[in-house]
Structure 1
Amino acid sequence: MDGIISIQSHVVYGHAGNSSAVFPIQRMGIEAWPIHTVQYSNHTQYDEGWTGHKFCAEEIRNLTKGLDNIGKLKDCQAVISGYLGSPEQCQAVADTVNQVKESNHRAFYVCDPVMGDPEKGCIVPEGVTEELTKTLMPMADVIVPNQFELTQFTGVEIHSLYDAVTACKKALELGPRLVLVKHLHSLAEGTFTAMLATPKACYLVQRPELDFEKAPVGVGDLITAIFTACITKQMSPVAAFRHTNNAVYGVLEVTQDQDTWELQTIAGQYEFIEPTHDFEPKKIA
């Protein structure tokens, strides 16, 4: 059966990284093959801290080799990369993507370039941002940055819709075929805004911004996973964008209803198949 290799962090408790990505992909009817870059007891926003450790880059290559040994790379339809804990892990991801594409020329690579956000600043080790912007993002078929990460890649500061479109167009010129900006925080107060850029046009989705005492962690990982699954299922990019935003909003609504900051991906799993809400993308350029 076809599958998606997902290379990112993992938490034992809660839903972030692969713990946010694997189940939704599976629930949408696709095999998910996780490779962990770190394994922590819980996500890193807990005041009490966390336990666990980072894996060496060679683990990524070894596990990819093992999949190749049993003939499964030819069945890999996509590779996702998320949080990477060292420049060496970035290089191992590039090697894995190239190896998968050699085995299956239809496979595509989705890079979620986890760097940080305007409030937290850079949250990755030294050298990772450079490897993401110079190596992984240009070789990706799809990138899923937030506003901060899009600016890091393109050098375009974003203060308006025009700036966002300009940055997306610049990103497409640098290599990727699709750009999904998972959050444009500067465009509208109290409204969550996401953008999809294709070679033909840009599309905008806006939906209510749900209020949380603490912002849930792992939402970006969920966005990337659902969008990748949609593209794997041969949805058009715009249809995938629409489904992804609707599904994620539904899960966030369930999370809010249960008064928790840990994503309720199990309780809200029906959203991956048939979202409760429908926010239609608007063509803007």
Structure 2
Amino acid sequence: MPLALIISSHVAASHVGGTAQASALAILKIDSMVVPTVVYGRHPGWGPPGGAKIDPATLEGMLAGIEANKLLGQTDLVLTGYFAFPEQVTAAAHAIDAVRGAQRKGYGGEAARQPVVIVDPTLGDAGKGLYVPAEVARAVAGELLPRADIVAPNAWELAHLTGQDVRTPEDAVVAARRLGRPALVSSIAQGKEIGVIYAEPSQAWMAAHPRLPSAPKGTGDLLSALFGAAILDGLTGSYALGRAVGGVAETVAAAHAASAAELPIVAMAQRLKATSPSVRLERLA
């Protein structure tokens, strides 16, 4: 069974961060090891979250325990998200290096599968700006992005990281390619649709669906998890994009229909893996 290492937030009453990702991956039969960067009662968007930020030494100790059990060599997927301190970012970077450097064994005569590292630079958003300390943003850009197989920013974060305007799908493709690695860019508005772009050096695709008036928090976290799961299933980037965006779109639509304040991830079950008829896939380059 595939194994994921998630280094991100744990939020007890909100389906965001590592909490949301572990739930989604469990449905897709991927086990998770969640190393929290914060432990909150609720998303800060609801008000004071309660809980606390995790001391970097504690986070390092958790990662050391995982490594001592020789689980980094069995890790197939690494997801990183929200960080509260730059020292946490450094610890995550070292963990990624350890995952890649660990000895791996194939099964049934097959070659060992190489891990996939998806870095979601959870730095800020349109209308809010940077919502992590500037030193955390610099650490993510300097230490995690160079280690990523796939970078998964929203449109605002992509603009922040590259210094380019990201207003259109074409802008997003140009900016994404400046990152120097495949990118999964969310929150691309186009008319009455909202889309996600997956850009590689040789091609770029957009998966778009009708935009609803509002959506619960955590859609970017869910997107990264579903995309990573699709890649582990052997899908190419474009097919992984369509499946992952379909799962997010279906979950947001279910939340909207039920007037739910949080993403109903567990209730969606295998619909997370089904192609959504509401998603339009378009090749951009």
Amino acid at match of 1:71: K
Aligned match for 2:186, one of 160, 168, 182: 182
Alignment of 1:90-239 (within 5 A): 90-103=89-102, 106-172=114-180, 176=181, 178-185=182-189, 188-212=190-214, 215-239=215-239
Q: Which moved more, 1:151-160 or 1:139-148?
A: 151-160
CA–CA distance in 1 between the matches of 2:266 and 2:97?
33
Give 2:38's aligned residue. Answer: 38
**1:278 shift after superposition:** 5.2
**1:281 shift after superposition:** 2.0
Contact preservation (8 Å) 1:247, 1:276:
yes
Amino acid at match of 1:254: A
Give the superposed CA RMSD.
1.5
Gaps of 5+ in 2: 105-113
SS of the residue aligned with 2:191? coil
Contact preservation (8 Å) 2:39, 2:53:
yes
SS of the residue aligned with 1:38? strand
Contact preservation (8 Å) 1:73, 1:104:
no
CA–CA distance in 2 between the matches of 1:60 and 1:2?
23
**1:161 shift after superposition:** 3.3
Amino acid at match of 2:253: E
Amino acid at match of 1:110: I
SS of the residue aligned with 2:76? strand
Q: Per-residue CA shift, 1:149-183, capped at 9, x if unaligned?
A: 111221211233332221022122xxx2x200011
**1:50 shift after superposition:** 2.0
SS of the residue aligned with 2:14? coil
Q: Per-residue CA shift, 1:183-231, capped at 9, x if unaligned?
A: 123xx2331021100121011122101123xx41111110011111111
CA–CA distance in 1 between the matches of 2:245 and 2:205?
12
CA pair 162-2 structure 1, distance change in 2 beyond 3 A: closer
CA–CA distance in 2 between the matches of 1:278 and 1:262?
21
CA–CA distance in 2 between the matches of 1:104 and 1:245?
33
**1:19 shift after superposition:** 1.5
Amino acid at match of 2:94: D
**1:275 shift after superposition:** 4.1
Aligned residues: 276
Work out the percentage of aligned pairs sharing the same amino acid: 25
Amino acid at match of 1:261: A
TM-score, reference length from structure 2: 0.92
Q: List 4+ stretches of structure 1 deviating above 6 A.
A: none
Give 2:245's aligned residue. Answer: 245
CA–CA distance in 1 between the matches of 2:170 and 2:103?
38
CA pair 104-150 structure 1, distance change in 2 beyond 3 A: farther
Gaps of 5+ in 1: none
CA pair 238-134 structure 1, distance change in 2 beyond 3 A: same
**1:61 shift after superposition:** 2.3
SS of the residue aligned with 1:266? helix
Contact preservation (8 Å) 2:244, 2:273:
no
TM-score, reference length from structure 1: 0.92
CA–CA distance in 1 between the matches of 2:229 and 2:43?
24
CA–CA distance in 2 between the matches of 1:233 and 1:276?
18
SS of the residue aligned with 1:267? helix
CA–CA distance in 1 between the matches of 2:271 and 2:103?
30
Amino acid at match of 2:184: L
Contact preservation (8 Å) 1:218, 1:263:
yes
CA–CA distance in 2 between the matches of 1:122 and 1:85?
13
